[in-house]
Copies of this chain bind each other. A is one copy, B any other.
Amino acid sequence: MANSIGNMFRITTFGESHGEAIGCIVDGCPANLELSENDIQQQLNRRRPGQGALDTKRSESDTVKILSGTENGRTLGSPIAMLVQNHDRRPDDYNELANIPRPSHADFVYKTKYGILASSGGGRASARETVGRVAAGAVADKYLRDTHGTIIVAWVSSVGAVDCDEVDLNKVLRSDVDSSPVRCPDPMSAEKMIDCIRSVASDRDSIGGIITCVCRNVPAGWGEPVFDKISSALGGAMLSIPAVKGFEIGSGFGAAAKRGSENNDMFIMKNGVLGTVTNRSGGVQGGISNGEPIVMRVAFKPTATIGMPQRTADYNGNLVTLNISKGRHDPCVVPRAVPVVEAMAAIILADMSLMSRS
């Protein structure tokens, strides 16, 4: 079950970073939905490496092919398999890592768990694994948009010490987000973030960041009451993205310092349905959507693989200096992780939508 997520809308991903291909199966997508490869390609292009000065030099077109589940541009209700070939594979780049586990990377735990390592900079532990998530997420996104008018938009709200809080949660669009290569819709903050990334890159270092995600037009009543709260499912999904170390919804960690009288959202009638004046709940109460926008923040650690020399131990415990000269890595993962966060949000919401119909 390790490579599947979702109950009624269920995805399974596969593929090593430097293997033959990478992809996914989406099972449970309703029939008769309009769906073409272009719907998926758009999000894959936003995740694709080699987009600009800020990211890895690996060059992949990441062209998706739908193998099953659609006919004449419509879904059949059967599983949708999607495939992306790996082209720019360079497993030999990783030979220098054969004896030294990269600090804060998965090399050591994979070898402990499986007794074998893909010769490929992480295999499944590579961020390239997220290709399957983004492809599947694009299907979920299309279903949600066409069926419920749900709009999911994520953006970079923090890089290192640079924060951006000037975003209108009710209006921001993906096109706003894409107006800067760092995927921050606020131009001033975006400039500072780019400077920050360039600076750490020139030091052969990396930097962490935060992605904020808003989901508008989520009907009230999605989510299950106890263990499958919508907040729990979204949190679990986001924390499964490589490099994610934190998740919060609504007022999040900030709520811990608040009084109830400061944090509660009062009810008010809005366009004939009950809504809330404020949205500290982040669109979720008791684990169930309340009709307000779902708002969450996802914290990414800095990329573990850095070019700077690192003084660490090899598998035998000998103290060594690790110099990673090859391999291609982003100095900051958050710009390319934006569509991944959107994908995970869409997959969870599509699943909750289908479960709510039961």
Residues on A lying within 8 angstroms of B by beta carbon are 1-5, 7-8, 10, 12-16, 19-23, 25, 27-28, 31-32, 65-69, 71, 74, 76-81, 83, 101, 103-106, 108-110, 112-116, 118-120, 122-125, 129, 158, 160-161, 200, 203, 205-210, 220-221, 223-229, 231-240, 242, 244-253, 255-269, 274, 276, 280-282, 285-290, 299-306, 308, 310-315, 317, 319, 354-358
Contacts and interface: CB of A to CB of B under 8 A. Distances in A.
A252 B246 contact: yes
Contacts of A317: 267-269, 274
A237 B200 CA distance: 35
B2 A266 contact: no
A19 B83 CA distance: 14
23 contacts: A7-B7, A12-B25, A14-B81, A19-B67, A20-B67, A21-B67, A21-B81, A76-B118, A103-B267, A108-B220, A108-B290, A109-B289, A124-B226, A161-B257, A209-B256, A232-B239, A245-B251, A245-B252, A246-B247, A248-B299, A251-B301, A261-B308, A266-B310
Copies of this chain, tallied across the complex: 4
A257 B208 contact: yes
B14 A4 contact: no
A27, A114, A233, A259: most-surrounded residue (chain B CB, <10 A):
A259
B27 A12 contact: yes
A289 to B, nearest CB: 7
B208 A301 contact: no
Nearest to A276: B103
Contacts of A355: 8, 358
A203 B260 CA distance: 11
Nearest to A286: B106
B68 A22 contact: yes
Given A105-B286, A301-B255, A311 B266 contact: yes
Nearest to A313: B267
Contacts of A16: 68-69, 71, 76, 78
B68 A207 contact: no
A103 B285 CA distance: 9
A114 B232 contact: no
Contacts of A308: 260-261
Contact of A69 (B14, B31, B109, B208): B14
A7 B253 CA distance: 29
A225 B14 contact: no
Contact of A313 (B124, B237, B274): B274
Nearest to A255: B301
A115 B257 CA distance: 34
A225 B78 contact: yes
Interface centre among A223, A286, A306 (most CB of B within 10 A): A286
Nearest to A126: B286
A259 B109 contact: no
A124 B79 CA distance: 9
B255 A15 contact: no
B23 A81 contact: yes
A256 B210 contact: yes
A236 B236 CA distance: 4
